[in-house]
Amino acid sequence: MQTAPDAGLDRAFLQQVEADVRRALAEDVGSGDLTAALVPEGQTARAGIVCREAAVICGQPWVMATLGQVAPSAVATWHVADGGRCTPGQTVVEFTGPARGLLTAERTCLNFLQTLSAVATSTALHVAAVAGTGAAILDTRKTIPGLRVAQKYAVRCGGGRNHRMGLYDAILIKENHIAAAGGLGAAFAAARRHGAQARFIQVEVETLDQLEEALQAGVAMVLLDNMPIERIRSAVRMAAGRCSLEVSGGVTLARLRELAETGVDRISVGALIKDIRAIDFSMRFQAAPVERTRGAAAPA
C-alpha cells in the first residue's frame, strides 16, 4: 500500500493510530460488510474524498491505517496534506483499489476526517485570532474518550500547541488538590518532591492573593482560572515576567483577542475539541469499474 508521509510521527503514535482504527472498524464492520459483498470480489475501482467546505485537513494517518486494514493493496494519492487548507468542493485524496475494500473503508475514513479536520479548523481560527500577540493557543484534556492522541494531533495540525497529554506526564495543581494537600504551598512542595518525571509543574490560582503565594513559592507556571479581564491584567503586572501565565476557563473565540492582549503567555481552550462541528466530506466512486480481476489486488 502506498502510505502517506509520516515524518515526525513516532512508533508509539503510529501504534495508537492502528489501535484507533481497529476499534472503529470493529464497531462498524463487525463480522463483515454485508452490503459490500454485493460487489463482485475481483472488481477494482477509483474513488475520491471531496471536502464540501473550506477547512484545515487532518486525519491522513487514520485514513491510511484504515486502508491498510481493509484494503492493503489500495493506492492513495493525497492532494492536501494534514495541516493544509482546502477549498469547497476540492478532492483531498484519491484511491485506486479493490471496490469492496474501499466501500468498507468509506465511513471509517470519513468519520476520522470529519472529526479531526473539525478540530484542526477550529484551532486555526483561534490561532489566527491571537496572531501577533505572543500568546499561544493550547488544548485541554476535554477530549472524546479513546481519541485523545488523534485530537491533540489535530490541534497541532491547526497551529495550536498541546497541553499535558494526561495525568501521567505533567502536574497541574488545581483547587481540589490544594484543598486536599492543605494549601497551595504544601501542594507545590509535594509536587517538587515527587514530580521528577513530570514535564512541568503548574499551579492553578483564582485570586491575586493566590498568585502572590505561588510567586513566593517559586512556581514557574501559573494558570489563571476563570478570572475577569481586569484581574488578568493585574496578574500580568504582578507577575512581571517571574512566571509563565496561562488563562483558562470561559474562553470564547469572541473574547480571545482581548485575553491575548493582556500579555499572558498561553490560553487553553476546551472548545477546540469539545465544541466542534464536523466538516462535510463525502466519498465518490467512478460510475464504471476500473477493471475486473480474479484476485483482489489493485493496479499499481
> Which of the following is catalytic: 204, 213, 246, 265?
204
pLDDT of res. 295: 40
CATH number, domain with residue 152: 3.20.20.70
Beta bridge partners of 95: 47, 76
CATH number, domain with residue 100: 3.90.1170.20
Asked, for residue 298, whether it belongs to a domain, the answer is: no
Q: What does the alpha-carbon distance between residue 222 and residue 245 come to, in Å, rounded to a whole number?
A: 5
Active site residue 231: no
| In a shared domain, residues 69 and 115 | yes
> Which of the following is catalytic: 85, 161, 174, 192?
174
Q: What does the alpha-carbon distance between residue 72 and residue 159 come to, in Å, rounded to a whole number?
A: 31
Beta bridge partners of 75: 96
| In a shared domain, residues 105 and 51 | yes
CB 226 within 8 A of CB 250: yes
Matching residue, cell 487553553: 268
> Which of the following is catalytic: 107, 231, 233, 257?
107
How far, CA to CA in Å, does 69 sit from each of 1, 7, 23, 35, 263? 10, 21, 11, 18, 48
| In a shared domain, residues 145 and 269 | yes
Asked, for residue 3, whether it belongs to a domain, the answer is: no
Asked, for residue 297, whether it belongs to a domain, the answer is: no
Q: What does the alpha-carbon distance between residue 69 and residue 56 come to, in Å, rounded to a whole number?
A: 26
Maximum pairwise Cα distance, the chain: 76
| In a shared domain, residues 255 and 282 | no
pLDDT of res. 286: 85
> Which of the following is catalytic: 28, 206, 225, 261?
225
| In a shared domain, residues 85 and 122 | yes
Active site residue 274: no
Q: What does the alpha-carbon distance between residue 171 and residue 185 come to, in Å, rounded to a whole number?
A: 14
| In a shared domain, residues 149 and 265 | yes
Active site residue 174: yes
Task: Domain of residue 207: give its range.
Answer: 133-274
What is the tally of structural domains in the chain? Answer: 2
Please list the pLDDT of the chain residue by residue as tens digits (300 residues): 333 334 457 999 999 999 999 999 999 999 999 999 999 999 999 999 999 999 999 999 999 999 999 999 999 999 999 999 999 999 999 999 999 999 999 999 999 999 999 999 999 999 999 999 999 999 999 999 999 999 999 999 999 999 999 999 999 999 999 999 999 999 999 999 998 899 999 999 999 999 999 999 999 999 999 999 999 999 999 999 999 999 999 899 999 999 999 999 999 999 999 999 999 999 999 855 555 544 433 333
94-118 burial, b if ≥16 CB within 10 A, otherwise e?
Answer: ebbbbbbbbbbbbbbbbbbbbbbbb
> Which of the following is catalytic: 85, 141, 142, 161?
142
The x, y and z cell numbers of residue 143, run together, are 477530549
Residue 14, CB-side half-sphere exposure with 13 Å CA sphere: 12
Active site residue 142: yes
The pTM of this model reads 0.91
